[in-house]
Amino acid sequence: MARWDGAQWSDEGNGGTTGNTTAGTLTSNGTVTSFSPFTLGALGGGNPLPVTWLKFDAKLEGEETNLEWATGSEINCEGFYVERASFTGEYEEIGYVNSDAIGGYSNANLFYSFVDRHPAQGNNYYRIKQVDFNGDYDYSEIQVLSFNKNTRLGWYINLTLNHQSNEFTIGTQDLSGQLDVSIFNVSGQMLYHGETVISGGYGQFYFSKPASGIYLINIVDINNPTNKYVKRVYLSTH
């Protein structure tokens, strides 16, 4: 048996049990003279993580992601890390929210929110990491949202590749002038960076691809850098 003394969980021991798994009693070893929260515990690592998830929702609002989650109970809960992964598949911490449970303990429904003001282009994978004061943690379910900035900006780009010459053709009726072009592999390493000029709705650039695989092409309108286009493509050497 464990008791919350206002600062930490203390071991009250096992003074005896009665009944079975359906009904019974558990008595502490010592005398407790003041009211405080109690829970079942073990000295080993077999304790269940003390949070009950009620919901986790993610909504795209304009160019931001609004995240909301709720818990039905919390024991020894310190707070929540908000984590996000994009096309690389690796999660990163983008925020932290303190627990509203007094002393980390609550049997009431508690509601939390966080705003991601800079979602990544493409699919965003969100999860909440709940952490205890003792370092234990638990994850929420994963929510996926697709963020497509260029669609909301109202411009469109079409990319085609000549496999023999390694020449990319950019087709667009919404842009003219210079474009900044970068190509990355899935590890985030830049493999190409250059500029091309859109004339008559088309522009070209050359990229000597090292191998077949997935790449991320980033295009920025130099005349208006807020206009960005990101496309994940599979390039083949064949």
pLDDT tier, 24 (very low <50, low <70, confident <90, very high otherwise): low
Give the pLDDT score at 228.
72
Give the pLDDT score at 221.
80
| Dist. CA 191–CA 216, nearest whole Å | 10
Q: Is 43 exposed, middle or buried (0-12, 13-18, 19+ CB in 10 A)?
A: exposed
Above 60 in pLDDT, residue 49? no
Tokens standing for residue 81: 């890390």
Which amino acid, 68?
A: E
Nearest to 61 by CA among 116, 124, 120: 116
Give the pLDDT score at 181.
85
Classify 72 as helix, strand or coil. strand
Give the pLDDT score at 197.
86
Do residues 98 and 114 touch, judged by C-beta distance below 8 A?
no
Looking at every residue in the chain, the average pLDDT score rounds to 77
Give the pLDDT score at 80.
97
pLDDT tier, 99 (very low <50, low <70, confident <90, very high otherwise): very high
pLDDT tier, 110 (very low <50, low <70, confident <90, very high otherwise): very high
Give the pLDDT score at 84.
92
Residue 166's contacts (CB-CB under 8 Å, 6 or more residues apart) are 206, 207, 208, 209
Distances (CA, A) of 15 to 34, 114, 152, 169: 18, 44, 65, 77
pLDDT tier, 48 (very low <50, low <70, confident <90, very high otherwise): low
pLDDT tier, 211 (very low <50, low <70, confident <90, very high otherwise): confident
Above 90 in pLDDT, residue 98? yes
pLDDT tier, 192 (very low <50, low <70, confident <90, very high otherwise): confident
Q: Is 136 exposed, middle or buried (0-12, 13-18, 19+ CB in 10 A)?
A: middle
Tokens standing for residue 77: 């809960």
Tokens standing for residue 11: 């071991």
Distances (CA, A) of 30 to 24, 41, 83: 19, 16, 42
Task: Quote the percentage of the chain above a pLDDT of 70.
Answer: 68
Domains of the chain: 2-39 (no CATH), 51-147 (2.60.40.10), 149-235 (2.60.40.3080)
DSSP element (H, E) containing 68: strand 64-74
Above 70 in pLDDT, residue 51? yes
Above 80 in pLDDT, residue 100? yes
